[in-house]
Amino acid sequence: MRRIPWWRLGAMLALLAGLGLGLVYSWIISPARVTDSEPLALRTDFKDHYRSAIAAAYAATGNLPRAEARLSLLADADPIEALNAQAQRMLASGQSFEQADQVAALASALGEGITVEFTSTPVTETTNSIVSTSTLLPDPSEIPPEITETAQPVETQATISASTPRPTQTAVPTLGAPFALTGQETVCDRNLPDGLLQVIVFDSRRRQLAGAKIIITWDGGEEEFFTGLKPELGNGYADFIMDPNTAYTVQLGAGSDIASGLTTSTCQTSDGETFFGGTKLTFQQP
């Protein structure tokens, strides 16, 4: 059998050793500097910033397809859930209610496929004579975008009709329409406090509504409380502990159906233990 010369064997080992050294250096000691990353690689808190910016832009323009395109860059498994969770985190950490609401509103719009209606007020300029319309949905990887542009001579001034219309947001009715009692159910959950009355309020777009005043009355008493004080349970959530020997009546301060005769119910666990159950009411604006 012919032996391999030692120096050839040494050369092969040197090549492998060099390869290993090169990989250690390029992967661990001095990896390539990142300069062209994508939003999906951002740290979690920066992803939250990114979502907030998307939501703020959506609140300003009402352009849902554009917001969806931007959200897709973050590659969330469930963008709606990610937005809702972020809105809750923002409220729980004391961030601006308006910003959290924008994030929640975008989640709601995505869930319903709603595009907020806007009316645009054309911008008038004296120096430009182009009427430009664009179908840009800014997927940055596809820049430059498709633009349809038509030159139009104008005598003394011109009108620019933008692809992203300057919005005058159509007001969504929040007052006037009474809330309907859409759900009333007995809750027997040993993990909840005895006699817990839960109230959840939705607006007309099925978004949980924070700050809704709830009036609860009983024989000889009345109390008011508001939704949204426990954001970890939902913007439209509020609760109250009922006394076992009292019947309560609940309605919303803004006007709603009346839920009356609310009492605790007797529940039983699988091992025979009894406890006071609660009630869950759901109100929604038609």
Partner 1 sequence: MKSSRWIFISLALLAGIGLGLAYGWVMDPVDFFDLTPDTLRADYKSDYVLMVAEAYHVERDPDLAARQLAIFGTQTPSTIASSGLAYARANGFSDSDIALMQELVTAMQAWSRIQ
∠ CA 56-60-63, nearest 5°, is 95
Contact stretch for partner 1 (CB under 8 A) within 40-48, 174-182, 242-250, 257-265: 40-48
And the tokens for 223?
């109390």
201 in Cβ contact with 174 (< 8 Å): no
- Residue with smaller CB distance to partner 1, 73 or 209: 73
φ/ψ of residue 215, rounded to 5: -110, 120
23 binds partner 1 (CB under 8 A): yes
Contact pick of 95, 164, 182, 217 for partner 1 (by CB under 8 A): 164
Picking from 259, 250, 258, the residue whose alpha carbon sits closest to that of residue 225 is 250
Residues 57-76 that bind partner 1 (CB under 8 A): 57, 59-61, 70, 73
- Residue with smaller CB distance to partner 1, 126 or 141: 141
φ/ψ of residue 223, rounded to 5: -145, 150
Contact pick of 2, 44, 94, 274 for partner 1 (by CB under 8 A): 44
Element (H, E) at 216: strand 213-218
φ/ψ of residue 144, rounded to 5: -80, 150
Contact pick of 17, 75, 172, 241 for partner 1 (by CB under 8 A): 17
For the bound state, the minimum distance from the C-beta of residue 52 to partner 1, rounded and expressed in Å, comes to: 8
Beta bridge partners of 161: none
86 binds partner 1 (CB under 8 A): no
Q: State the number of binding residues for partner 1 (CB under 8 A).
A: 61
Contact pick of 2, 3, 43, 153 for partner 1 (by CB under 8 A): 43
Using left for φ > 0, alpha for ψ between -120 and 50, and beta otherwise, residue 44 falls in: alpha
Contact pick of 75, 154, 162, 229 for partner 1 (by CB under 8 A): 162
122 in Cβ contact with 92 (< 8 Å): no
- Residue with smaller CB distance to partner 1, 166 or 190: 166
And the tokens for 233?
């349970």
Beta bridge partners of 120: 167
Picking from 242, 261, 259, the residue whose alpha carbon sits closest to that of residue 197 is 242
Residues 121-150 that bind partner 1 (CB under 8 A): 123, 130, 132, 134, 136, 138, 140-141, 143-145, 147
Which residues are near partner 1 by CB under 8 A? 7, 10-12, 14-27, 31-32, 34-39, 41-44, 46, 49-50, 52-54, 56-57, 59-61, 70, 73, 123, 130, 132, 134, 136, 138, 140-141, 143-145, 147, 160, 162-164, 166-167
